[in-house]
């Protein structure tokens, strides 16, 4: 096993769930601090608790997060930090910083509270999906992070007795909601995804015709025009909407033939890009069908090694 995978095991041994600002996340930051020092970097942290390992005038940062979800595997976030330490060690003269942002999974909180910004940021991350495996490619360059819209739709009906009310005399709110859920699925075509993930039913009783149903909507696309069209076509109360965020081309420059992917999930790189930092992201192939936020989350030693090579090459170009 490579040192990277051994380190991911060490972090996982602290706890599968390393919640933001928990003792487990603190312990992960302490462990990473030791590795940063061993790599010859100067360890600091900022007011938000983000961890830095710096060398010289560090205008280029690389890293990710060490917090994790309750059902986490070994790779999400941790891979980006450990890979950045590895690359920093290979470039003993390069001015750079390795960073572990706090509480990505519940915010992102750390990357949103930075007291300084770099010129460029590089994040290596497990894909958390099946696309690279399907393409038989070890690495993918992230071209953009999808914009998201969240909201809900409410259906009003009338509570009635489930035994005595004839079918043609009912106003069943959940039935209307069910039609809407199928409609949401129909609206999501190429370049977009849409999900109903939560339903609240009132009175939520087995023998009462549903009087009210509230369903959630999550809609995403890397194309702002497609996202707006999707929101219009679905038709729902919008709670918030974020624009898609294009990524910079530091990884595209060193991997010209790698496939380009859109990230459907938000990441620290998105937060930095949104405030003007040239942020680039590299996805590493997910094995086991792309499963993530699950103990079976996996990338191979060989693919991870290629990612560290690409990260090192990209850093060389940016710092020299």
For Zn ion, give the closer residue by CB, 89 or 104: 104
Residues in the chain: 320
Q: Which of 94, 135, 120 is nearest to 251 (CA)?
A: 120
Shortest distance (Å) from residue 108 CB to Zn ion: 9
For Zn ion, give the closer residue by CB, 103 or 255: 103
For Zn ion, give the closer residue by CB, 98 or 226: 98
Q: Which two tokens stand for residue 95?
A: 């001015």
Residues 229-288 contacting Zn ion, CB under 5 A: none
Q: Which two tokens stand for residue 230?
A: 């999707």
Interface characters, 68-87, with Zn ion (x: CB under 5 A): --------xx----------
Shortest distance (Å) from residue 65 CB to Zn ion: 6
For Zn ion, give the closer residue by CB, 174 or 247: 247
Shortest distance (Å) from residue 20 CB to Zn ion: 12
Shortest distance (Å) from residue 74 CB to Zn ion: 12
46 sits in which H/E element: none
Environment class of residue 6 by beta-carbon count within 10 Å: exposed (0-12), middle (13-18) or buried (19+)? Answer: exposed
Q: Is 290 in the site for Zn ion (CB under 5 A)?
A: no
For Zn ion, give the closer residue by CB, 177 or 263: 263
- Residue nearest Zn ion by beta-carbon distance: 77
What DSSP letter does each residue of 127-160 carry, written as one string? --SSHHHHHT-SEEEEEEE-EEEEEEEEEE----
d(CA 318, CA 310): 12
d(CA 282, CA 298): 16
Q: Which residues contact Zn ion by CB under 5 A?
A: 76-77
């Amino acid at each position: 096993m490579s040192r990277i995978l051994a380190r991911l095991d060490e972090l996982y041994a602290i706890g599968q769930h390393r919640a933001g600002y928990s003792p487990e996340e603190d312990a992960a930051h302490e462990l990473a601090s030791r590795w940063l020092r061993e790599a010859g970097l100067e360890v600091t942290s900022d007011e938000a608790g983000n961890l830095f390992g710096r060398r010289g005038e560090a205008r280029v940062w690389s890293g990710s997060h060490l917090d994790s979800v309750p059902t986490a595997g070994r790779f999400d976030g941790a891979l980006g930090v450990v890979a950045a330490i590895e690359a920093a060690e290979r470039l003993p003269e390069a001015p750079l910083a390795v960073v572990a942002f706090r509480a990505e999974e519940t915010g992102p909180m750390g990357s949103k509270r930075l007291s300084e910004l770099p010129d460029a940021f590089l994040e290596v991350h497990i894909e958390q999906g099946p696309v690279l495996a399907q393409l038989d490619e070890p690495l993918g360059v992230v071209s953009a992070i999808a914009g998201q819209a969240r909201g809900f739709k409410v259906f009003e009906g009338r509570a009635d007795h489930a035994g005595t009310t004839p079918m043609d005399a009912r106003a069943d709110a959940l039935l209307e909601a069910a039609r809407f859920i199928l409609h949401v699925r129909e609206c999501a075509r190429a370049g977009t995804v849409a999900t109903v993930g939560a339903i609240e039913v009132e009175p939520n009783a087995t023998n009462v015709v549903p009087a009210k149903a509230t369903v959630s909507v999550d809609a995403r696309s890397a194309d702002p025009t497609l996202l707006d069209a999707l929101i219009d076509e679905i038709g729902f109360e919008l709670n918030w909407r974020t624009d898609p965020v294009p990524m910079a081309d530091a990884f595209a420059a060193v991997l010209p033939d790698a496939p380009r992917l859109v990230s459907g999930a938000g990441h620290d790189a998105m937060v930095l890009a949104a405030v003007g930092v040239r942020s680039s992201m590299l996805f590493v192939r997910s094995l086991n069908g792309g499963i993530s936020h699950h103990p079976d989350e996996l990338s191979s030693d060989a693919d991870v090694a290629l990612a560290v090579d690409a990260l090192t090459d990209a850093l060389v170009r940016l710092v020299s």
